[in-house]
Amino acid sequence: MFFMKKSGLIGRIVLSVIFVIVLVIVIAGIYFYNFYVFKTVRICVGEGQDTVVSCTTTQDCIDVAEANGIGAEFDLSGAPEFLQVKFQEVLDEVIYCDGTCFVKDIRGVDPETQDIEVLESCNEGETEIVADIRGKEGLEILRYLKSLEK
């Protein structure tokens, strides 16, 4: 009789320990998926250079750039929504119309290789655009990159 009570107690302790371990794993997964920032991508936008191309709206400048093949290497169709939103934010900051088209210098992404450069901060006078990559965004980027390989 005493042994049965003792084995029931041991079973409850073992189940409690397993429950706590599973609970910790679930909480850690939720934290890393939603809140932990694995990488911060910082893009710095500097001074604008006049392209001497006449325009009335910024869209005119974007159309001219696309017609000349500029930006074609940044085809983000099928990319995760957050990536498209950040790219549009950078595009809105980099290209603008003031009678003629202006294109600002950018640091943080190499336009030719599309490699991400690690920047601790932007220089004085530069506009900073920051994208925090959490677990959710990281998985979306991974899925997108795998789809490009097919």
Which tokens sit at 56? 């009335």
Number of Cβ within 10 Å of residue 127's Cβ equals 14
Q: pLDDT 10s per residue in the chain (150 long)? A: 445 566 678 888 889 999 999 999 999 999 999 999 998 889 899 888 888 889 898 888 888 877 776 665 566 777 888 888 888 888 888 888 888 988 888 888 876 676 788 888 888 988 898 989 999 999 998 998 888 887
pLDDT digits (tens, 9 = 90+) for 72-82: 556 677 788 88
Distance CA 9, CA 54 (A): 82
Q: Please, which residues have CB within 8 angstroms of residue 60's CB and are 6 or more apart in sequence? A: 97, 101
pLDDT of residue 136: 94
Give pLDDT tens digits for 53-90: 898 988 888 888 777 766 655 667 778 888 888 888 88
pTM above 0.75, yes or no: no
